[in-house]
């Protein structure tokens, strides 16, 4: 009997998970949540069923897994008529590889009869050959190195390896294996593919363990640490970059395409297995959202692979979020307590059509006290912004019999927190050249700077210097410095995209986020001439009904333009008390309880559970979409208060003593952030009964929006805290002085010059 591929020692895996369950470790809880879903709702969690079958060996679990694979096989023929298979074949290649792998797992434990085993193997191989072998041959070798080609090469190599008794399989393996190392080696040495955090975290990163482990099993040696041709990329560097994209507030950087999102787990688990840096285990054990079971590589088995790679042995030491630097792409400055986070990016953008690799020369991401302050990403479909005259494109190769006309302006400079020249918002590169150079990074001084002149010089031949530097000073505030120098006069705009809502201020601009975090941003040097525009629909997430942000344009005219900005963050709320424990809960299987019925059910059900993730992830409870919760909370007297709830509670409704509060302003934002719901002052000082109703992800292919992602977080009661703002700030004689709340900070700051 063959071994289940990738699982070298099935008994050891079984023992690891069994021990974790017995010892009630986090790994044990995650395994329990996966197994319950596979057992109790296999039709809703098909991607968990082969793993459950393999680990338990139970007949019921094996039958569930076989049914899942039979279901997949039944989709193959109709898929042939869809534009997905015809034009986006790589999206189907990666999941096809894993369904084939899971078929092999079941074969390894003798789950199939000979006839069915042969039939399914042939179906899988034929489909692979005429679709994904074809797809791989469409992608030019060696030029194509991206997530699409990676998916295609991997699927051919894996099926070729799994079914090597077949000549078709061996043919696919030959080409797939030949190209596979260059899929890693063709990535930049930084580990950043340029496609954005979402693709890094959802496709490139999770591919790495599959590829490395396949190469090591098929050819021997170490494929994790070594830099590979043609560009020196390595699996290790990709994993490191995936982890670096995690922000301390639990979100991925809104780098390039898509914007803020929730991280996946499996790549970090693999990094924890292969590297000694305790940071990866820290992410898994203390920062990961384990109610999120989103897709990796167009399939929903992220948690399965996280459990497989997750090392049982914990590192001796803990690791905090730390500043990092990748000279080719960007740097992050993190305060010692991880409350203040800044990232400056200067990664290459795609010339001509910057679809995913956006034009973001020296763009900034700022976050404080858990709250994102700046935004980046993509607009909603209804968003009217960024449709610049010179950024329209029409293509005919993406769809059946149709052309698509779209505007790629949201990938250009105008939709980023960068310097614009003469208001050219569609700014982008047209040729291949080095677009930026890092000037400075100091982890101890917490400063970073980069020169991005070349991408401006391509259009403006008199450009001499476009530079930005950011510093985290006294672990308390940021200084941002811009230097723009041309031979001739130009209108220079320093554009920032900030979260709403604006707060009145005498200098610059100020905002207060929905989480009560304020940011003052104003020039200590350079003019304070500005416009502030509300952009509806950008980004397509977080605030407003369909996303919104503030576009802040500071402008000046000249051949040499400078700004030195103070960016001062401040939290206006603090946690008074955690209230995550002891919530009465009741499932609402048909999603139709009235409030009154729900109260009866809450009493009758007698279930007491922490409101941190869906109940069925914590205990053997029904896997249903709608849940009700109730708990008493004492509201502090005399201060404004908020109730923080877990993120991603779908269709949340909230009652206090039977009186419903309007939650709609939080609807979009709470997909990513824990909502903080203001408690009406009339309840001040009283013990209130809070009743909640929400939907949660209950199925990997649910049509109602949340698939299998559950809500996640720690409910808490927050109260206001003093936020004095900036009382005085100035830049004189190379010293920045800031006064706030009776305290004063000063820092020496020498301005950047054109020479290094």
Say whether residue 122 binds other proteins (CB under 8 A). yes
Sole binder of other proteins in the list 60, 87, 680, 741 (CB under 8 A): 87
Q: How far is the CB of 681 from other proteins (least distance, A)?
A: 47
Say whether residue 396 binds other proteins (CB under 8 A). yes
Residue 294 tokens read as: 């989103």
Q: How far is the CB of 135 from other proteins (least distance, A)?
A: 7
Say whether residue 354 binds other proteins (CB under 8 A). no
Instruction: Give whichever of 121 and 416 is closer to other proteins, judged by the CB atom.
Output: 121
Q: How far is the CB of 118 from other proteins (least distance, A)?
A: 9
Q: How far apart are CA 344 and CA 358, in angstroms?
A: 14
Give yes or no for a contact between 564 and 524, defined as CB atoms under 8 angstroms apart.
yes
- Residues counted in the chain: 756
Say whether residue 6 binds other proteins (CB under 8 A). no
**Contacts of residue 524, Cβ cutoff 8 Å, sequence gap at least 6:** 479, 564, 565, 566, 729, 730, 731, 736
Say whether residue 380 binds other proteins (CB under 8 A). no
Sole binder of other proteins in the list 46, 254, 615, 646 (CB under 8 A): 46
Instruction: Give whichever of 320 and 395 is closer to other proteins, judged by the CB atom.
Output: 395
Sole binder of other proteins in the list 64, 139, 358, 541 (CB under 8 A): 139
**Contacts of residue 717, Cβ cutoff 8 Å, sequence gap at least 6:** 575, 576, 577, 578, 579, 633, 635, 636, 641, 642, 643, 644
Q: How far is the CB of 94 from other proteins (least distance, A)?
A: 8
Residue 176 tokens read as: 């797939």
Biggest alpha carbon–alpha carbon distance for the chain: 84
- Looking at 425-469, list the stretches that DSSP marks H as alpha helix, in order from N- to C-terminal side: 453-457
Residue 371 tokens read as: 């709250």
Q: How far is the CB of 66 from other proteins (least distance, A)?
A: 11
Instruction: Convert residues 692-721 into a mask of x (bound to other proteins by CB under 8 A) and - (unbound).
Output: ---------x--------------------
Sole binder of other proteins in the list 16, 36, 39, 96 (CB under 8 A): 96
Say whether residue 401 binds other proteins (CB under 8 A). yes
Say whether residue 114 binds other proteins (CB under 8 A). no
Sole binder of other proteins in the list 402, 590, 596, 662 (CB under 8 A): 402
Sole binder of other proteins in the list 12, 134, 532, 751 (CB under 8 A): 134
Whether the upstream peptide bond of residue 142 has omega within 30° of 0, thus cis, is yes
Q: How many CB atoms lie within 10 A of CB 702?
A: 15
Q: How far is the CB of 354 from other proteins (least distance, A)?
A: 13
Sole binder of other proteins in the list 41, 68, 153, 183 (CB under 8 A): 68
Sole binder of other proteins in the list 5, 48, 99, 497 (CB under 8 A): 99
User: Distance between alpha carbon 354 and the CA centroid of its chain, in Å?
Assistant: 20
Find, among 134, 124, 105, the residue nearest to 6 by Cα.
105
Instruction: Give whichever of 122 and 337 is closer to other proteins, judged by the CB atom.
Output: 122
Piece of the chain touching other proteins by CB under 8 A; list 108-116, 166-174, 178-186, 283-291: 166-174
Sole binder of other proteins in the list 82, 110, 589, 658 (CB under 8 A): 82
Sole binder of other proteins in the list 58, 60, 126, 637 (CB under 8 A): 126
Q: How far apart are CA 203 and CA 466, in angstroms?
A: 34
Per-residue HEC secondary structure of 80-102 comes to: CCCHHHHHCHHHHHHHHHHHHHH
Residue 611 tokens read as: 């409101």
Q: How far apart are CA 736 and CA 334, in angstroms?
A: 20
Q: How far apart are CA 515 and CA 575, in angstroms?
A: 12
Say whether residue 504 binds other proteins (CB under 8 A). no
Dihedral over alpha carbons 377, 361, 500, 408 (to 10 degrees) = -40
Residue 250 tokens read as: 């639990």
Give the bridge partners for 746, in sequence order.
737
Say whether residue 230 binds other proteins (CB under 8 A). no
Q: How far is the CB of 698 from other proteins (least distance, A)?
A: 15
What is the DSSP secondary-structure string of 619-635?
Answer: SS----SEEEEEEEEEP
Say whether residue 74 binds other proteins (CB under 8 A). yes
Query: Number of residues in contact with other proteins, rule: CB under 8 A?
Result: 57
Cα–Cα distances (Å) from 2 to 125, 210, 223, 435, in that order, read: 18, 18, 24, 51
Sole binder of other proteins in the list 12, 382, 384, 395 (CB under 8 A): 395
What is the DSSP secondary-structure string of 340-391?
Answer: EEEEEE-----SS--SSS---TTEEEEEETTEE-B--S---TT--TT--TT-
Say whether residue 554 binds other proteins (CB under 8 A). no
Sole binder of other proteins in the list 115, 140, 431, 722 (CB under 8 A): 140
Element (H, E) at 20: helix 10-22
Counting Cα atoms < 13 Å in the Cβ hemisphere of 533 gives 14
Say whether residue 503 binds other proteins (CB under 8 A). no
Instruction: Convert residues 294-333 into a mask of x (bound to other proteins by CB under 8 A) and - (unbound).
Output: ----xxx---------------------------------
Sole binder of other proteins in the list 8, 12, 15, 83 (CB under 8 A): 83
Say whether residue 51 binds other proteins (CB under 8 A). no
Say whether residue 164 binds other proteins (CB under 8 A). no
Piece of the chain touching other proteins by CB under 8 A; list 51-59, 83-91, 376-384, 555-563: 83-91
**DSSP classification of residue 114:** H
Instruction: Convert residues 170-209 into a mask of x (bound to other proteins by CB under 8 A) and - (unbound).
Output: xx--------------------------------------
Residue 670 tokens read as: 């709470």
Element (H, E) at 56: helix 49-56
Residue ranges that bind other proteins, judged by CB under 8 A: 46, 68-69, 71-72, 74-75, 77-84, 86-88, 91-92, 94-96, 98-99, 122, 125-126, 129-131, 133-135, 137-140, 143-144, 166-168, 170-171, 298-300, 393, 395-397, 399-402, 701
């Amino acid at each position: 009997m063959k071994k289940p591929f990738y699982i070298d020692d099935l008994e050891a895996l079984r023992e690891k998970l069994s021990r974790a369950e017995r010892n009630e470790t986090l790994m044990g809880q995650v395994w329990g949540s996966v197994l319950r879903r596979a057992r109790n709702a296999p039709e809703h969690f098909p991607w968990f069923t082969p793993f459950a079958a393999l680990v338990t060996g139970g007949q019921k679990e094996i039958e569930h897994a076989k049914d899942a694979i039979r279901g997949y096989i039944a989709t193959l023929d109709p898929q042939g008529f869809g534009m997905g298979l015809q034009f986006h074949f790589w999206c189907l290649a990666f999941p096809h590889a894993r369904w084939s792998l899971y078929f092999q797992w079941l074969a390894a434990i003798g789950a199939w009869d000979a006839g069915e085993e042969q039939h399914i193997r042939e179906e899988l191989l034929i489909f692979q050959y005429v679709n994904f072998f074809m797809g791989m041959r469409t992608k030019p070798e060696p030029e194509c190195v991206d997530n699409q080609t990676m998916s295609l090469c991997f699927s051919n190599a894996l099926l070729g390896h799994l079914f090597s008794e077949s000549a078709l399989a061996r043919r696919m393996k030959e080409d797939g294996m030949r190209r596979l190392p260059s899929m890693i080696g063709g990535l930049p040495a930084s580990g950043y593919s340029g496609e954005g955090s979402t693709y890094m975290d959802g496709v490139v990163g999770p591919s790495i363990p599959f590829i490395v482990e396949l190469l090591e099993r098929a050819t021997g040696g170490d494929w994790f640490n070594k830099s590979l041709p043609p560009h020196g990329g390595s699996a290790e560097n990709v994993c490191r970059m995936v982890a670096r994209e995690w922000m301390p507030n639990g979100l991925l950087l809104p780098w390039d395409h898509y914007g803020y999102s929730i991280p996946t787990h499996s790549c970090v688990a693999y990094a924890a297995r292969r590297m000694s840096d305790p940071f990866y285990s820290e992410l898994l054990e203390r920062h990961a959202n384990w109610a999120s079971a989103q897709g990796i590589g167009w399939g929903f088995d992220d948690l399965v692979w996280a459990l497989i790679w997750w090392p049982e042995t914990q590192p001796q030491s803990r690791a905090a979020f730390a500043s990092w630097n990748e000279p080719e792409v960007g740097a992050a400055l993190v305060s010692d307590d991880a409350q203040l986070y800044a990232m400056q990016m200067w990664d290459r953008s795609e010339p001509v059509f910057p679809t995913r690799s956006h034009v973001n020369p020296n763009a900034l991401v700022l976050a404080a006290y858990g709250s994102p302050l700046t935004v980046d990403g993509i607009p909603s479909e209804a968003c009217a912004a960024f449709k610049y005259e010179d950024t329209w494109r029409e293509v005919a190769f993406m769809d059946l019999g149709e052309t698509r006309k779209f505007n790629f302006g949201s990938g250009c400079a105008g939709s980023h927190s960068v310097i614009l020249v003469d208001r050219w918002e569609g700014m982008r590169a047209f040729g291949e050249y080095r677009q930026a150079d890092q000037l400075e990074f100091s982890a101890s001084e917490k400063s970073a700077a980069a020169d991005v002149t070349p991408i401006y010089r391509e259009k403006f031949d008199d450009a001499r210097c476009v530079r930005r530097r950011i510093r985290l000073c006294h672990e308390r505030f940021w200084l941002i410095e811009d230097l723009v120098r041309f031979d001739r006069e130009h209108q220079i705009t320093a554009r920032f995209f900030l979260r709403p809502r604006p707060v009145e201020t005498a200098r610059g601009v100020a905002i207060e986020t929905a989480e009560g975090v304020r940011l003052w941003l104003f020039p200590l040097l350079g003019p304070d001439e500005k416009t502030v525009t509300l952009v509806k629909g950008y980004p397509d997430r977080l605030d407003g009904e369909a996303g919104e942000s503030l576009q802040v344009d500071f402008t000046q005219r000249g051949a040499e333009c400078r700004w030195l900005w103070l960016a001062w963050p401040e939290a206006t709320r603090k946690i008074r008390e955690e209230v995550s424990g002891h919530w009465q809960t009741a499932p609402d299987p048909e999603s139709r309880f009235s409030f009154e019925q729900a109260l009866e059910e809450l009493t009758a059900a007698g279930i007491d559970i922490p409101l941190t993730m869906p109940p069925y992830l914590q205990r053997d409870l029904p896997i249903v979409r709608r849940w009700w919760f109730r708990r008493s909370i004492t509201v502090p007297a005399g201060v404004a208060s908020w109730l923080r709830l877990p993120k991603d509670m779908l269709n949340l409704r909230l009652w206090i003593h039977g009186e419903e509060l309007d939650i709609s302003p939080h609807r979009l934002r709470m997909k990513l952030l824990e909502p903080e719901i203001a408690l009406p002052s009339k309840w001040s000082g009283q013990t209130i009964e809070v009743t909640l109703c929400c939907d949660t992800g209950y199925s990997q292919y649910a049509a109602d929006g949340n698939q299998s992602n559950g809500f996640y977080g720690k409910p808490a009661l927050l109260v206001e805290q003093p936020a004095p703002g900036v009382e005085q700030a100035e830049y004189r004689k190379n010293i920045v002085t800031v006064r706030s709340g009776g305290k004063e900070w000063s820092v020496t700051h020498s301005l950047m010059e054109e020479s290094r």
